[in-house]
A and B are shown apart, each in its own frame.
Chain A
Amino acid sequence: MIKTDFHAVIRPFGEVGSLVDISAPTMDEACHTVMALNKMLLARRLSAIVSTTPSYSSLLVCFNPSLLGRAALHDLLQQLLNDLEQIDQPRGVTWEIPACFGGRYAPDRKQLEVALSTQWDVIVHRFCSIEFTVRAIGFVPGFTYLGGLPPDLHCTRMMTPRARVPASSIAIAGNQAGIYPFDSPGGWRILGRLPFAVFDTADEPPAIFSPGDQLRFKPVDETEFASLAEQPRENVISVSVAGQ
Protein backbone atom coordinates (compact mmCIF):
# COMPACT_ATOMS: atom_id res chain seq x y z
CA MET A 1 0.00 0.00 0.00
CA ILE A 2 1.21 3.50 -0.64
CA LYS A 3 -0.36 6.86 -0.18
CA THR A 4 0.82 9.54 -2.54
CA ASP A 5 0.74 13.29 -2.79
CA PHE A 6 0.17 13.85 -6.47
CA HIS A 7 -0.98 16.53 -8.84
CA ALA A 8 -3.06 15.70 -11.90
CA VAL A 9 -3.65 17.61 -15.13
CA ILE A 10 -6.47 16.46 -17.43
CA ARG A 11 -6.41 17.76 -21.01
CA PRO A 12 -8.00 17.03 -24.38
CA PHE A 13 -5.86 15.03 -26.85
CA GLY A 14 -7.72 15.11 -30.16
CA GLU A 15 -11.45 14.53 -30.65
CA VAL A 16 -11.64 11.13 -29.00
CA GLY A 17 -8.79 11.25 -26.48
CA SER A 18 -8.08 12.82 -23.13
CA LEU A 19 -4.77 12.67 -21.33
CA VAL A 20 -4.21 12.59 -17.58
CA ASP A 21 -0.67 13.55 -16.51
CA ILE A 22 0.31 12.78 -12.93
CA SER A 23 3.18 14.42 -11.14
CA ALA A 24 4.33 12.96 -7.84
CA PRO A 25 7.53 13.09 -5.75
CA THR A 26 8.85 9.93 -7.45
CA MET A 27 8.19 8.16 -10.75
CA ASP A 28 7.24 5.05 -8.78
CA GLU A 29 4.47 6.95 -6.98
CA ALA A 30 3.28 8.67 -10.17
CA CYS A 31 3.17 5.33 -11.99
CA HIS A 32 1.30 3.68 -9.11
CA THR A 33 -1.28 6.48 -9.13
CA VAL A 34 -1.76 6.10 -12.91
CA MET A 35 -2.32 2.35 -12.58
CA ALA A 36 -4.78 2.83 -9.70
CA LEU A 37 -6.72 5.47 -11.67
CA ASN A 38 -6.84 3.19 -14.70
CA LYS A 39 -8.15 0.32 -12.56
CA MET A 40 -10.88 2.47 -11.03
CA LEU A 41 -11.92 3.79 -14.44
CA LEU A 42 -12.10 0.30 -15.96
CA ALA A 43 -14.08 -0.93 -12.93
CA ARG A 44 -16.89 1.41 -14.00
CA ARG A 45 -17.27 -0.75 -17.13
CA LEU A 46 -18.46 2.15 -19.25
CA SER A 47 -19.19 1.36 -22.88
CA ALA A 48 -18.13 4.92 -23.71
CA ILE A 49 -14.51 4.11 -22.75
CA VAL A 50 -12.98 2.63 -25.90
CA SER A 51 -9.46 2.05 -24.60
CA THR A 52 -7.03 3.21 -21.94
CA THR A 53 -3.26 3.38 -22.26
CA PRO A 54 -1.43 3.69 -18.94
CA SER A 55 2.26 4.50 -19.33
CA TYR A 56 4.65 5.72 -16.64
CA SER A 57 3.11 8.93 -15.34
CA SER A 58 0.19 9.33 -17.77
CA LEU A 59 -3.10 7.74 -18.72
CA LEU A 60 -4.52 8.17 -22.22
CA VAL A 61 -8.28 7.59 -22.31
CA CYS A 62 -9.94 7.11 -25.69
CA PHE A 63 -13.71 7.50 -25.58
CA ASN A 64 -16.77 7.52 -27.77
CA PRO A 65 -17.99 11.13 -27.71
CA SER A 66 -21.47 10.13 -28.89
CA LEU A 67 -21.90 8.12 -25.66
CA LEU A 68 -20.06 10.40 -23.22
CA GLY A 69 -19.15 14.05 -23.60
CA ARG A 70 -15.65 15.26 -22.83
CA ALA A 71 -16.84 17.44 -19.93
CA ALA A 72 -18.56 14.46 -18.31
CA LEU A 73 -15.45 12.31 -18.84
CA HIS A 74 -13.22 14.92 -17.23
CA ASP A 75 -15.65 15.23 -14.30
CA LEU A 76 -15.54 11.48 -13.85
CA LEU A 77 -11.72 11.39 -14.00
CA GLN A 78 -11.53 14.24 -11.47
CA GLN A 79 -13.93 12.39 -9.17
CA LEU A 80 -11.84 9.22 -9.38
CA LEU A 81 -8.68 11.23 -8.68
CA ASN A 82 -10.34 12.75 -5.61
CA ASP A 83 -11.32 9.26 -4.42
CA LEU A 84 -7.75 8.07 -5.02
CA GLU A 85 -6.41 10.71 -2.66
CA GLN A 86 -8.56 9.42 0.15
CA ILE A 87 -7.90 5.71 0.01
CA ASP A 88 -4.73 3.69 -0.08
CA GLN A 89 -4.45 1.79 -3.33
CA PRO A 90 -3.21 -1.77 -3.25
CA ARG A 91 -0.33 -2.68 -5.53
CA GLY A 92 -0.79 -5.04 -8.45
CA VAL A 93 0.04 -8.72 -8.42
CA THR A 94 3.63 -9.85 -7.83
CA TRP A 95 5.22 -12.42 -10.14
CA GLU A 96 8.20 -14.57 -9.34
CA ILE A 97 9.91 -15.37 -12.61
CA PRO A 98 12.72 -17.80 -13.37
CA ALA A 99 15.33 -16.43 -15.75
CA CYS A 100 18.69 -17.62 -16.99
CA PHE A 101 21.54 -15.11 -16.78
CA GLY A 102 24.26 -17.35 -18.12
CA GLY A 103 25.84 -18.73 -21.28
CA ARG A 104 24.22 -17.85 -24.56
CA TYR A 105 21.31 -16.18 -22.79
CA ALA A 106 23.60 -13.39 -21.54
CA PRO A 107 25.51 -12.26 -24.65
CA ASP A 108 26.36 -8.84 -23.16
CA ARG A 109 27.88 -10.25 -19.95
CA LYS A 110 31.45 -9.10 -20.65
CA GLN A 111 30.50 -5.59 -21.78
CA LEU A 112 28.22 -5.16 -18.76
CA GLU A 113 30.94 -6.32 -16.35
CA VAL A 114 33.26 -3.69 -17.81
CA ALA A 115 30.63 -0.94 -18.04
CA LEU A 116 29.46 -1.46 -14.46
CA SER A 117 32.94 -2.41 -13.09
CA THR A 118 31.28 -5.30 -11.29
CA GLN A 119 31.54 -9.07 -11.44
CA TRP A 120 28.75 -10.93 -13.20
CA ASP A 121 27.42 -12.88 -10.21
CA VAL A 122 27.19 -9.64 -8.24
CA ILE A 123 25.27 -7.96 -11.09
CA VAL A 124 22.87 -10.91 -11.35
CA HIS A 125 22.38 -11.09 -7.58
CA ARG A 126 21.67 -7.36 -7.47
CA PHE A 127 19.26 -7.54 -10.43
CA CYS A 128 17.36 -10.43 -8.84
CA SER A 129 17.01 -8.61 -5.52
CA ILE A 130 14.91 -5.85 -7.10
CA GLU A 131 11.14 -5.73 -7.24
CA PHE A 132 10.43 -4.24 -10.66
CA THR A 133 7.17 -2.55 -11.64
CA VAL A 134 5.65 -2.87 -15.11
CA ARG A 135 5.48 0.81 -16.05
CA ALA A 136 4.03 0.25 -19.51
CA ILE A 137 3.42 -2.41 -22.12
CA GLY A 138 3.68 -1.07 -25.58
CA PHE A 139 5.58 0.44 -28.41
CA VAL A 140 5.04 -3.01 -29.96
CA PRO A 141 2.53 -5.58 -28.63
CA GLY A 142 3.81 -7.04 -25.37
CA PHE A 143 7.08 -5.08 -24.96
CA THR A 144 7.32 -4.85 -21.17
CA TYR A 145 8.95 -1.74 -19.68
CA LEU A 146 10.20 -2.29 -16.14
CA GLY A 147 10.88 0.49 -13.67
CA GLY A 148 13.03 0.14 -10.57
CA LEU A 149 16.52 -0.37 -11.98
CA PRO A 150 18.91 1.08 -9.33
CA PRO A 151 21.51 3.67 -10.44
CA ASP A 152 24.41 1.22 -10.01
CA LEU A 153 22.93 -0.88 -12.86
CA HIS A 154 22.30 2.02 -15.25
CA CYS A 155 24.17 1.63 -18.56
CA THR A 156 24.19 3.15 -22.02
CA ARG A 157 22.57 1.63 -25.10
CA MET A 158 24.70 -0.23 -27.63
CA MET A 159 26.31 2.06 -30.21
CA THR A 160 25.05 -0.21 -32.98
CA PRO A 161 21.77 -2.01 -32.30
CA ARG A 162 21.67 -5.80 -32.78
CA ALA A 163 19.83 -7.06 -35.83
CA ARG A 164 18.17 -9.73 -33.72
CA VAL A 165 17.39 -9.75 -30.03
CA PRO A 166 15.82 -13.15 -29.21
CA ALA A 167 12.23 -13.19 -27.93
CA SER A 168 11.88 -13.21 -24.10
CA SER A 169 15.28 -11.53 -23.60
CA ILE A 170 15.66 -9.30 -20.54
CA ALA A 171 17.66 -6.22 -21.38
CA ILE A 172 18.68 -2.93 -19.83
CA ALA A 173 19.37 0.56 -21.21
CA GLY A 174 19.64 3.84 -19.35
CA ASN A 175 17.53 3.57 -16.19
CA GLN A 176 15.13 1.03 -17.69
CA ALA A 177 14.82 -2.71 -17.94
CA GLY A 178 12.60 -4.42 -20.46
CA ILE A 179 11.47 -7.75 -21.89
CA TYR A 180 11.35 -8.29 -25.67
CA PRO A 181 8.14 -10.12 -26.79
CA PHE A 182 9.41 -11.13 -30.25
CA ASP A 183 12.70 -11.65 -32.04
CA SER A 184 13.43 -8.09 -33.15
CA PRO A 185 16.21 -5.59 -33.68
CA GLY A 186 17.22 -3.77 -30.51
CA GLY A 187 19.92 -1.69 -28.85
CA TRP A 188 19.39 -2.60 -25.21
CA ARG A 189 22.03 -4.72 -23.46
CA ILE A 190 20.88 -8.30 -22.94
CA LEU A 191 21.51 -9.87 -19.56
CA GLY A 192 19.22 -12.87 -19.52
CA ARG A 193 16.21 -14.72 -20.89
CA LEU A 194 12.86 -16.03 -19.64
CA PRO A 195 11.95 -19.67 -20.38
CA PHE A 196 8.49 -18.71 -21.68
CA ALA A 197 6.76 -16.28 -24.05
CA VAL A 198 5.49 -12.99 -22.59
CA PHE A 199 3.13 -12.41 -25.54
CA ASP A 200 1.30 -15.11 -27.47
CA THR A 201 -1.68 -14.53 -29.74
CA ALA A 202 -3.04 -17.96 -28.72
CA ASP A 203 -3.34 -16.81 -25.07
CA GLU A 204 -6.27 -14.99 -23.56
CA PRO A 205 -5.20 -12.30 -22.75
CA PRO A 206 -2.21 -12.40 -25.11
CA ALA A 207 0.11 -10.50 -22.74
CA ILE A 208 0.95 -12.29 -19.51
CA PHE A 209 1.80 -9.11 -17.59
CA SER A 210 -0.30 -6.00 -17.06
CA PRO A 211 0.87 -2.46 -16.37
CA GLY A 212 1.27 -2.06 -12.60
CA ASP A 213 2.32 -5.67 -11.96
CA GLN A 214 5.42 -6.33 -9.83
CA LEU A 215 8.15 -8.65 -11.08
CA ARG A 216 10.98 -10.39 -9.26
CA PHE A 217 13.50 -12.57 -11.11
CA LYS A 218 14.89 -15.85 -9.80
CA PRO A 219 18.13 -17.03 -11.43
CA VAL A 220 18.22 -20.55 -12.88
CA ASP A 221 21.08 -22.33 -14.68
CA GLU A 222 21.04 -23.39 -18.32
CA THR A 223 19.99 -26.98 -17.55
CA GLU A 224 17.07 -25.84 -15.43
CA PHE A 225 16.16 -23.25 -18.08
CA ALA A 226 15.96 -25.98 -20.72
CA SER A 227 13.63 -28.08 -18.60
CA LEU A 228 11.44 -25.09 -17.66
CA ALA A 229 11.19 -24.03 -21.31
CA GLU A 230 9.45 -27.33 -22.09
CA GLN A 231 6.80 -26.95 -19.43
CA PRO A 232 3.51 -25.07 -19.62
CA ARG A 233 3.97 -21.49 -18.45
CA GLU A 234 1.64 -21.82 -15.47
CA ASN A 235 3.98 -24.45 -13.96
CA VAL A 236 6.96 -22.17 -14.35
CA ILE A 237 5.95 -18.91 -12.72
CA SER A 238 4.24 -18.10 -9.48
CA VAL A 239 2.06 -15.14 -8.71
CA SER A 240 0.93 -13.59 -5.46
CA VAL A 241 -1.56 -10.83 -4.86
CA ALA A 242 -0.47 -7.98 -2.60
CA GLY A 243 -1.43 -8.47 1.02
CA GLN A 244 -1.88 -12.22 0.76
Chain B
Amino acid sequence: MKLEFLTSGLRTTTQDSGRPGFTHIGVPVGGALDQAALHYANRLVGNPIYSPVLEITLTGPRIKCLESGQVASAGGDFKLVVNGQARAPNTAITLEAGDELSFEPSSAGCRTFLAVAGNWCVKRWLGSASALRVGSHELLPEAVWYKGNVLETYAFNVTPWPSPLLPPPRARRSILAYRGPEYHLLDPTSIAELFGKSITVVDPSNRMALRTDARLNLTSEKSESEMVSSGVQPGTVQVTHDGQAIVLMRDGQTIGGYPRVLQCTVSSLDHLAQLRVGDAFAFVLIDG
Protein backbone atom coordinates (compact mmCIF):
# COMPACT_ATOMS: atom_id res chain seq x y z
CA MET B 1 0.00 0.00 0.00
CA LYS B 2 1.05 3.63 -0.30
CA LEU B 3 0.53 6.43 2.24
CA GLU B 4 1.34 10.12 1.99
CA PHE B 5 1.97 12.35 5.01
CA LEU B 6 -0.19 15.50 4.85
CA THR B 7 1.26 16.57 8.23
CA SER B 8 3.96 14.94 10.34
CA GLY B 9 2.45 15.24 13.81
CA LEU B 10 4.63 16.10 16.82
CA ARG B 11 7.17 13.42 15.96
CA THR B 12 6.47 10.38 13.82
CA THR B 13 9.27 7.85 13.33
CA THR B 14 9.85 4.34 12.05
CA GLN B 15 10.53 1.93 14.92
CA ASP B 16 11.00 -1.84 15.23
CA SER B 17 12.60 -4.12 17.79
CA GLY B 18 15.77 -2.03 17.79
CA ARG B 19 19.46 -2.74 17.26
CA PRO B 20 20.77 -4.81 20.17
CA GLY B 21 24.48 -5.63 20.25
CA PHE B 22 26.13 -2.22 19.80
CA THR B 23 26.15 -0.81 23.32
CA HIS B 24 29.95 -1.26 23.46
CA ILE B 25 30.25 1.65 20.98
CA GLY B 26 27.56 3.69 22.67
CA VAL B 27 24.63 2.83 20.40
CA PRO B 28 21.46 2.25 22.44
CA VAL B 29 19.14 -0.67 21.60
CA GLY B 30 16.32 1.74 20.69
CA GLY B 31 13.22 0.48 18.90
CA ALA B 32 9.50 0.93 19.57
CA LEU B 33 9.12 2.23 23.13
CA ASP B 34 6.07 -0.01 23.66
CA GLN B 35 7.15 -3.41 22.33
CA ALA B 36 3.86 -5.17 23.18
CA ALA B 37 2.03 -2.59 21.05
CA LEU B 38 4.55 -3.10 18.21
CA HIS B 39 3.89 -6.85 18.19
CA TYR B 40 0.12 -6.54 18.44
CA ALA B 41 -0.28 -3.89 15.73
CA ASN B 42 1.84 -5.96 13.34
CA ARG B 43 -0.12 -9.09 14.10
CA LEU B 44 -3.41 -7.32 13.39
CA VAL B 45 -2.36 -6.58 9.79
CA GLY B 46 -0.69 -9.96 9.28
CA ASN B 47 2.90 -8.68 9.36
CA PRO B 48 5.76 -10.43 11.16
CA ILE B 49 5.70 -9.07 14.71
CA TYR B 50 9.11 -7.39 14.41
CA SER B 51 8.21 -5.47 11.23
CA PRO B 52 8.71 -1.71 11.39
CA VAL B 53 5.76 0.44 12.44
CA LEU B 54 5.15 4.17 12.76
CA GLU B 55 5.62 5.41 16.33
CA ILE B 56 3.24 8.31 16.84
CA THR B 57 3.70 10.63 19.82
CA LEU B 58 0.83 12.67 21.32
CA THR B 59 -0.24 14.58 18.20
CA GLY B 60 -0.53 12.18 15.29
CA PRO B 61 0.03 12.93 11.63
CA ARG B 62 -2.65 13.27 8.96
CA ILE B 63 -2.12 10.63 6.34
CA LYS B 64 -3.69 10.21 2.90
CA CYS B 65 -4.03 6.77 1.36
CA LEU B 66 -2.67 6.64 -2.21
CA GLU B 67 -2.94 2.88 -2.71
CA SER B 68 -5.28 0.66 -0.70
CA GLY B 69 -4.22 -1.69 2.07
CA GLN B 70 -4.63 -2.52 5.75
CA VAL B 71 -3.44 -0.57 8.78
CA ALA B 72 -3.91 -1.09 12.52
CA SER B 73 -2.79 0.80 15.59
CA ALA B 74 -2.06 -0.41 19.09
CA GLY B 75 -0.93 1.22 22.31
CA GLY B 76 -1.86 4.38 24.12
CA ASP B 77 -5.62 4.07 23.60
CA PHE B 78 -5.47 6.40 20.58
CA LYS B 79 -8.50 6.43 18.27
CA LEU B 80 -8.03 6.01 14.53
CA VAL B 81 -10.18 8.41 12.55
CA VAL B 82 -10.90 7.67 8.88
CA ASN B 83 -12.49 10.46 6.84
CA GLY B 84 -13.63 12.09 10.08
CA GLN B 85 -15.17 8.94 11.56
CA ALA B 86 -13.70 7.22 14.62
CA ARG B 87 -13.08 3.49 14.11
CA ALA B 88 -13.25 0.62 16.59
CA PRO B 89 -9.90 -0.02 18.33
CA ASN B 90 -7.79 -3.16 18.03
CA THR B 91 -8.90 -4.14 14.55
CA ALA B 92 -7.32 -3.93 11.13
CA ILE B 93 -8.78 -1.17 8.98
CA THR B 94 -8.82 -1.26 5.20
CA LEU B 95 -8.00 2.10 3.64
CA GLU B 96 -8.94 2.85 0.02
CA ALA B 97 -7.15 5.34 -2.20
CA GLY B 98 -8.28 8.84 -1.24
CA ASP B 99 -9.13 7.96 2.40
CA GLU B 100 -7.69 10.26 5.05
CA LEU B 101 -6.41 8.90 8.35
CA SER B 102 -5.83 10.87 11.54
CA PHE B 103 -5.37 10.12 15.23
CA GLU B 104 -7.16 11.14 18.39
CA PRO B 105 -4.96 10.76 21.46
CA SER B 106 -6.40 9.84 24.85
CA SER B 107 -5.25 10.76 28.33
CA ALA B 108 -4.42 7.08 28.90
CA GLY B 109 -1.29 7.04 26.76
CA CYS B 110 1.52 8.91 25.09
CA ARG B 111 2.31 6.86 22.00
CA THR B 112 0.52 4.69 19.50
CA PHE B 113 2.03 2.37 16.92
CA LEU B 114 0.63 2.13 13.40
CA ALA B 115 1.31 -1.09 11.52
CA VAL B 116 1.02 -0.92 7.74
CA ALA B 117 0.41 -4.24 5.98
CA GLY B 118 3.19 -5.48 3.72
CA ASN B 119 6.95 -5.50 3.47
CA TRP B 120 8.59 -2.20 4.41
CA CYS B 121 11.47 -1.59 2.03
CA VAL B 122 13.08 1.06 4.23
CA LYS B 123 16.68 1.85 5.02
CA ARG B 124 18.17 0.01 7.98
CA TRP B 125 21.23 0.80 10.05
CA LEU B 126 22.89 -1.89 12.18
CA GLY B 127 19.99 -4.20 11.38
CA SER B 128 17.20 -1.87 12.44
CA ALA B 129 14.87 0.59 10.72
CA SER B 130 14.43 2.56 13.97
CA ALA B 131 15.05 6.31 14.10
CA LEU B 132 17.71 7.44 16.57
CA ARG B 133 18.29 11.07 17.45
CA VAL B 134 21.44 12.13 19.31
CA GLY B 135 21.27 15.78 20.27
CA SER B 136 20.33 17.42 16.99
CA HIS B 137 21.66 14.56 14.82
CA GLU B 138 19.40 11.99 13.21
CA LEU B 139 21.53 8.88 12.83
CA LEU B 140 18.96 7.33 10.44
CA PRO B 141 17.27 10.37 8.86
CA GLU B 142 15.12 8.17 6.57
CA ALA B 143 13.24 6.95 9.66
CA VAL B 144 11.75 10.35 10.50
CA TRP B 145 8.54 11.26 8.67
CA TYR B 146 7.71 14.75 7.42
CA LYS B 147 4.93 16.39 5.43
CA GLY B 148 5.02 15.20 1.81
CA ASN B 149 6.87 11.91 2.50
CA VAL B 150 5.38 8.74 1.02
CA LEU B 151 5.54 5.33 2.72
CA GLU B 152 5.21 2.39 0.36
CA THR B 153 4.95 -1.25 1.38
CA TYR B 154 4.98 -4.31 -0.87
CA ALA B 155 2.76 -7.37 -0.64
CA PHE B 156 4.14 -10.41 1.15
CA ASN B 157 3.64 -13.66 -0.72
CA VAL B 158 2.39 -15.36 2.41
CA THR B 159 -1.02 -15.87 3.94
CA PRO B 160 -1.34 -13.54 6.91
CA TRP B 161 -1.61 -15.15 10.33
CA PRO B 162 -4.93 -15.05 12.03
CA SER B 163 -4.61 -12.84 15.12
CA PRO B 164 -4.60 -15.00 18.25
CA LEU B 165 -2.97 -12.35 20.45
CA LEU B 166 -4.98 -10.45 23.02
CA PRO B 167 -4.57 -6.68 22.90
CA PRO B 168 -1.81 -5.45 25.20
CA PRO B 169 -3.10 -4.38 28.61
CA ARG B 170 -3.84 -0.71 29.24
CA ALA B 171 -0.85 1.22 30.49
CA ARG B 172 -0.22 0.34 34.11
CA ARG B 173 0.76 3.02 36.59
CA SER B 174 2.67 0.68 38.86
CA ILE B 175 6.18 0.05 37.62
CA LEU B 176 7.92 -3.10 38.80
CA ALA B 177 11.61 -2.77 39.58
CA TYR B 178 14.50 -4.74 41.00
CA ARG B 179 17.18 -3.27 43.23
CA GLY B 180 19.92 -1.66 41.14
CA PRO B 181 23.68 -1.99 41.72
CA GLU B 182 23.76 1.14 43.96
CA TYR B 183 20.43 0.61 45.76
CA HIS B 184 22.34 0.45 49.05
CA LEU B 185 23.26 4.14 48.69
CA LEU B 186 19.62 5.19 49.27
CA ASP B 187 18.94 6.42 52.79
CA PRO B 188 15.71 5.33 54.59
CA THR B 189 13.90 8.61 53.80
CA SER B 190 14.67 8.17 50.12
CA ILE B 191 13.42 4.59 50.12
CA ALA B 192 10.14 5.89 51.60
CA GLU B 193 10.07 8.64 48.95
CA LEU B 194 10.67 6.14 46.16
CA PHE B 195 8.08 3.53 47.15
CA GLY B 196 5.73 5.27 49.54
CA LYS B 197 4.09 7.77 47.24
CA SER B 198 3.23 8.51 43.69
CA ILE B 199 5.90 9.98 41.41
CA THR B 200 5.17 12.45 38.61
CA VAL B 201 6.81 12.55 35.18
CA VAL B 202 8.27 16.00 34.48
CA ASP B 203 9.79 17.83 31.49
CA PRO B 204 12.02 17.17 29.66
CA SER B 205 11.01 13.54 29.14
CA ASN B 206 11.52 11.74 25.87
CA ARG B 207 12.73 8.52 24.24
CA MET B 208 16.04 8.85 26.10
CA ALA B 209 14.77 9.28 29.63
CA LEU B 210 11.78 10.08 31.81
CA ARG B 211 12.55 12.68 34.43
CA THR B 212 10.59 12.66 37.67
CA ASP B 213 9.76 14.88 40.62
CA ALA B 214 11.20 12.31 43.06
CA ARG B 215 14.02 13.84 45.10
CA LEU B 216 16.33 11.36 46.75
CA ASN B 217 19.24 11.54 49.16
CA LEU B 218 22.19 9.25 48.90
CA THR B 219 24.28 8.18 51.86
CA SER B 220 27.71 9.73 51.76
CA GLU B 221 29.42 6.33 51.84
CA LYS B 222 30.57 6.87 48.28
CA SER B 223 30.66 10.34 46.83
CA GLU B 224 29.47 10.70 43.26
CA SER B 225 32.90 11.78 42.09
CA GLU B 226 34.25 8.37 43.07
CA MET B 227 31.82 6.49 40.86
CA VAL B 228 33.31 5.68 37.48
CA SER B 229 31.06 5.30 34.45
CA SER B 230 29.51 1.87 34.19
CA GLY B 231 26.90 0.17 32.01
CA VAL B 232 23.22 1.12 32.18
CA GLN B 233 20.17 -0.33 30.41
CA PRO B 234 16.71 0.80 29.37
CA GLY B 235 14.77 0.88 32.63
CA THR B 236 17.72 1.83 34.84
CA VAL B 237 16.71 4.41 37.45
CA GLN B 238 19.58 6.81 38.16
CA VAL B 239 19.86 9.54 40.76
CA THR B 240 21.49 12.71 39.42
CA HIS B 241 23.77 15.04 41.41
CA ASP B 242 20.80 17.17 42.48
CA GLY B 243 18.88 14.11 43.67
CA GLN B 244 16.44 13.75 40.78
CA ALA B 245 15.39 10.20 39.89
CA ILE B 246 15.46 9.61 36.13
CA VAL B 247 14.37 6.48 34.27
CA LEU B 248 16.41 5.61 31.19
CA MET B 249 14.36 4.64 28.13
CA ARG B 250 15.28 2.65 25.00
CA ASP B 251 17.24 5.52 23.34
CA GLY B 252 19.05 6.32 26.57
CA GLN B 253 22.77 6.49 27.19
CA THR B 254 24.72 3.21 27.39
CA ILE B 255 27.02 4.10 30.30
CA GLY B 256 26.56 6.49 33.16
CA GLY B 257 28.24 7.81 36.25
CA TYR B 258 25.18 8.34 38.45
CA PRO B 259 24.15 5.77 41.07
CA ARG B 260 21.79 3.13 39.59
CA VAL B 261 19.27 2.56 42.35
CA LEU B 262 16.60 0.51 40.54
CA GLN B 263 16.22 -1.56 37.39
CA CYS B 264 12.67 -1.71 35.98
CA THR B 265 11.40 -4.99 34.55
CA VAL B 266 11.41 -5.44 30.79
CA SER B 267 7.61 -5.42 30.57
CA SER B 268 7.40 -2.26 32.71
CA LEU B 269 9.24 -0.42 29.92
CA ASP B 270 6.10 -0.67 27.76
CA HIS B 271 4.05 0.92 30.52
CA LEU B 272 6.63 3.66 31.14
CA ALA B 273 6.45 4.44 27.40
CA GLN B 274 2.81 5.44 27.80
CA LEU B 275 3.37 7.98 30.61
CA ARG B 276 3.01 11.62 29.64
CA VAL B 277 4.53 14.64 31.37
CA GLY B 278 2.31 15.25 34.41
CA ASP B 279 1.25 11.59 34.78
CA ALA B 280 1.74 9.92 38.15
CA PHE B 281 3.07 6.42 38.73
CA ALA B 282 4.50 4.31 41.54
CA PHE B 283 7.51 2.03 41.81
CA VAL B 284 6.94 -1.45 43.22
CA LEU B 285 10.06 -3.25 44.46
CA ILE B 286 10.53 -6.87 43.44
CA ASP B 287 12.72 -8.99 45.68
CA GLY B 288 15.25 -11.15 43.96
Contacts and interface: CB of A to CB of B under 8 A. Distances in A.
Contacts of A139: 26, 229, 253-256
Interface in A131-185: 136-143, 145, 181-185
A14 B255 contact: no
Contact of A13 (B132, B137, B181): B181
A55 B263 contact: no
Contact of A182 (B135, B263, B266): B135
Contacts of A4: none
Contact of B24 (A51, A140, A184): A51
Interface in A25-57: 27, 38, 50-57
B134 interface: yes
Given A16-B266, A51-B22, A141 B139 contact: yes
Interface in B216-252: 228-233, 235-236
B26 A62 contact: no
Contact of B180 (A13, A143, A182): A13
Contacts of B24: 38, 51-54, 137-138, 210-211
Interface residues of A, number: 44
A18 to B, nearest CB: 10
A17 interface: yes
A19 interface: yes
Contacts of B29: 51
A164 to B, nearest CB: 10
A183 B265 CA distance: 34
Interface string B9-34: 00000000000111111111100000
Nearest to B21: A51
A207 B25 contact: yes
Interface in B234-288: 235-236, 253-256, 260, 263-266
B235 A136 contact: no
A224 B247 CA distance: 46
Given A13-B181, A137-B26, A19 B231 contact: yes
A18 B127 CA distance: 25
Contacts of A15: 178, 263, 265-266
B20 A51 contact: yes
A140 B253 contact: yes
B135 A58 contact: no
B135 to A, nearest CB: 5
B228 A57 contact: yes
Contacts of A207: 25-26
5 contacts: A14-B180, A55-B255, A59-B231, A137-B25, A185-B135
